[in-house]
Structure 1
Amino acid sequence: MTGVISAFEYDLLGDENAKISGVVPLPSEVFKYLEAMALSEYGCQFLKVTARNNQRLLQVQNYAGMLFTPLGHQLEILPKVGRNLTKEKARETLVTMLSYLSGFRHIQTQESSVQTYSRPLLEIFISQFLQSLSLLLKKGLRSDYREHSDNLTFMKGRLNVSAQLRHNVIHRDKFFVSYEEYSPDNAANRLLHSALNKLSKMQLAAENQQWIQELRFVFDDIPVSRDIDADISQLRFGRNMVHYETPVEWAKLILTGMSPMALQGEAKSLSLLFPMEVVFESFVAQTIADELPPGLTVKSQFSGLSLVRHQEKDLFSLRPDLVIQKGVPAKNNLVMDTKWKLINGNMRNQYGLSQSDLYQMFAYGQKYLAGEDQGAMYLIYPEQDNFTAPIRHHFEFSNTLKLWVVPYRITANQGQRFSLQQ
């Protein structure tokens, strides 16, 4: 396997020949490839061109995932949750959050599936696809009856009279027939074979390469997809196709570039890159109901109120990430916003909080809680080594409008990720 280059969010990347301290070195051809991507007319959301000591560098933005370059190198970008975070813990954190993200819930987080986070992300994801495909094969490939028409030397199925008269007036020893054949040549199996075929051309870990070759043998009699989009549109998962869902979801990712974020331009690479604000926001929204006391209802991306009215029109929509309601009829009880950012417990620099975030929470409180004392607000940040417990004292906007700043424990067990403050 060609080299895997690991970096964290906001790390600097540079040409290995520059030898600048604190910069992740890249092979010259890889740096040039990524630089061209960042400078292209389409731009590049996850990389920004910068400089230090008169040397051009690339800075990773707030994205995490992996990019497989056409040069054979893998660039792995890991979420930065803490100053002293290990690669293993960063991978576990990302995989845990992705397993709750819409479109990626087939990702497994159990130790028996992922086995270890010491491997690069791409190898972890490919192993999960291969594992799910192996489980499918133990249950057997699905076959369907398919309609065929052919000119045969023997009678089979039903005679197509019009075609027989058109083709076999002279050749009376032949029969133009239509018949059904029970075959594994269907859209789902073609997509699975195509995904294996694509992976077989990549430079991967020896274990995964061998596994791919073993699985490809099973698909020898099934053609690869000639029209991936058309085959995807044909997919239907009935009761007898449930075991296909996970491997087919992986296959769709592999065949469509594996990316929820479009990499535009001519240089299209296999990628799986995620904006971390979206991933964290989705993870909290999907899991926080399990962390709250009974009787509370979670509403995500709640809308309906605006900051001001002007000429009988509402302007500047206010959309908190989470509104927690209570009672019948439902009444807003808590307002929460998630922030993918590192903060700390140091009062001297105001804990690393952003003034604009507090202005935003003040507006939410005025509009959604009306400053009432039965409500409270929360700013939720990822837990990290400098932020393991809520900031001890709340922030007072007024005697009745208060804000708590709390950590969210991403890899903790259900019920232990978050707790309300009194």
Structure 2
Amino acid sequence: MSKSNTITVFEYERLNVGEKGFNQYHFNALVKFNDLHGGKYFTIGFNKITFKSYVGVLQVGSKVIEILPKADDRFSGEQSRSKWQSALLRMLQMAGYIKLNETDSASQSITKRNLLDIYLYAFIKEVERLTHLGLVKKYHQNIGNEKVLKGRLLLSKHIQHNLVHKERFYTEHIVYDFNNKYNNILKTALKIVENCSSDISIKQTVSQQLIYFTDIDSWRGSVSELDKLNFDRKTEQYQDAISLAKLIIGNYCPDFSAGNQHILAFLFDMNKLFENYIFKCLKKYENSLPELNLSVRRQSKQKFWGDKTIRPDIIISYQTKEKALNNFVVDTKWKVIDEDTPSDNDLKQMFVYNFQFKAHKSFLFYPKTNQSNKGITHYEISEFAKDINHGCELYFAELFDEKENLNDKFAYDFILNNILYGLP
């Protein structure tokens, strides 16, 4: 995909018709795509689209629109684009949204591709692996007209269809073959990639892989059914490929307009991505202080008023030498604030978390731009709970190293400074 055919924007940026090669056909297709998804991706204005908190890439016809994260204004132009392209891919990998091995990650063929092609490439590699191992066979029920009698004859259907064709039998029988829902899903995703991708090498590889699916039907179920798919011992090897196929099928909208403006999108809520990324980074260093029995975990929802529930992003627990159990609450916030200006709602939220999850300290966890970490500020002690001394800290994580590459060293520093050196 040539650079001239790619539009790069950042979160919350506005794109007008007539800018950067974005025309009325592209606009109309994106409006319908947005409507199909409940308006969650863009804010629509008169001949303009304002992007929300979703990042990633989408293809409208042959035009690729790349939406990158934006947490600071220290860089601009190509420097900013290159920095956040690399950071987004790394975040997606670390958070488990895309699986690439180290060889793939380092290869020039990957780093030169846009995010859409990287996802398609990852999917094709998974399909290649499965066809090399051998596609799975499954038992399934087959109903139809056959030249030989096998299974159970469906008499009413047989009479309806074969009053003239006496040589046929309308039957219901069990078959064991490759034509099952797992392979159906892969074939449908492959056909979408073949239809959408502008990368010649991807299209050629897909054509080669489709040969293995010649006698396999396409998926005819709804997108919602894909989330209910179960895996057993024979199909567990399909999980990565199916996960990518679900994204392809669920985010494909064919032929929205006369200009063949089909859309294929891989879009991710940056707030959720940041939460998952921070969790995986902290989890990586969970065993860095074995003497404290450190635990980094997600917290399930808990009721706190009627049927209403609350759920912090991350709970960190550790034990001191006295075997006292301590909890920290971490709530990630993908936004830029001044070091002294959290929102009242965020502070009230952390106040409740401290009580509900028995934490004496909680963290509002932000990406760092030019702020400094000042330590904990305690909530005022109330008459109702005089013996409970607890507080909240605004923590600004430096996500990049000195070369402006995404780096998870902040997670180790956070654990070291706030647990080992911050023991009560």
Please indicate, yes or no, whether the TM-score normalized by the shorter chain is above 0.5: yes
Q: Deviations over 1:313-336 (max 9, x none)?
A: 779976533333344998443222
Partners of 1:291 and 1:414 within 8 A in 2 = no
Q: What is the number of residues matched between the two proteins?
A: 378
Q: What's the counterpart of residue 65 of structure 2?
A: 75
Match of 1:5 among 4, 7, 11: 7
**Would the alpha carbon gap of residues 36 and 141 (structure 1) be closer, same or farther in structure 2, given more than 3 Å must change?**
closer
In the TM superposition, residue 379 of structure 1 has moved relative to its aligned partner by 2.3
Residue aligning to 1:379: 364
Supply the AA of the counterpart residue of 2:342.
S
**1:356 matched to which residue of 2?**
344
1:222 — aligned with what? 216
In structure 1, C-alpha distance between the alignment counterparts of 2:375 and 2:17, rounded to whole Å: 46
Q: Post-superposition shift, 1:7?
A: 0.9
Relative to structure 1, is the Cα distance of residues 86 and 169 closer, same or farther in structure 2, using a 3 angstrom cutoff?
A: closer
2:257 aligned residue: none
Root-mean-square deviation (CA, aligned residues, Å) is 4.5
Q: Indicate if the aligned counterparts of 1:298 and 1:324 stay in contact, CA closer than 8 A.
A: yes
Question: Which residue of the partner structure matches residue 110 of structure 1?
Answer: 101
- Alpha-carbon distance in 2 for matches of 1:158, 1:192: 29
1:212 paired to 2:206:
yes
The residue type equivalent to 2:11 in the other structure is: E
Counterpart for residue 396 of structure 1: 377
Asked if structure 2 preserves the Cα contact closer than 8 Å seen for 1:299 and 1:323, the reply is: yes
Structure-2 change in CA distance of 1:74 and 1:352 (3 Å): farther
> Percent identity among equivalent residues?
21
SS of the equivalent of 2:66 reads strand
What secondary structure sits across from 1:325 in the alignment? strand
Q: In structure 2, what residue type is equivalent to 1:255?
A: I
One of 19, 26, 50 as aligned partner of 1:59:
50
Q: Could you say what secondary structure the match of 1:412 adopts? A: coil
Question: C-alpha separation between the residues in 1 aligned to 2:377 and 2:165?
Answer: 94
What is the CA-CA distance between 1:212 and the residue it aligns to?
1.4
Match of 1:245 in 2: 239
1:71-105 CA-to-partner distances (Å, cap 9, x unmatched) read 4322221111443264344234333433465xxx4
* Structure 2 CA distance for aligned equivalents of residues 224 and 175 of structure 1: 25
2:42 equivalent among 47, 57, 62 = 47
CA gap 1:302/1:242 in 2 versus in 1, 3 angstroms: closer
CA offset at residue 356 of structure 1? Answer: 2.6
In the alignment, which residue of structure 2 is the partner of 1:21? none
Task: Please give the TM-score of this superposition, normalised by the length of structure 1.
Answer: 0.71
Taking the aligned partners of 1:128 and 1:281, their CA distance within structure 2 comes to 23
Secondary structure, counterpart of 1:419 in structure 2: helix
Question: 8 Å contact 1:50–1:58 — kept in the other structure?
Answer: yes
Structure 1 unaligned residues grouped into runs of 5+: 18-24, 260-266, 307-312, 344-349
Bigger helix fraction: 2
TM-score normalised by the chain length of structure 2: 0.70
Structure 1 residue 157: Cα displacement? 6.3
1:333 matched to 2:324? The reply is no
Residue 22 of structure 2 is aligned to residue 27 of structure 1 = yes
User: 1:321: which partner in 2?
Assistant: 313
In 2, Cα distance between equivalents of 1:30 and 1:188: 35
Is residue 89–residue 117 contact of structure 1 (8 Å, CA) maintained in 2? no
SS in 1 for 2:88: helix
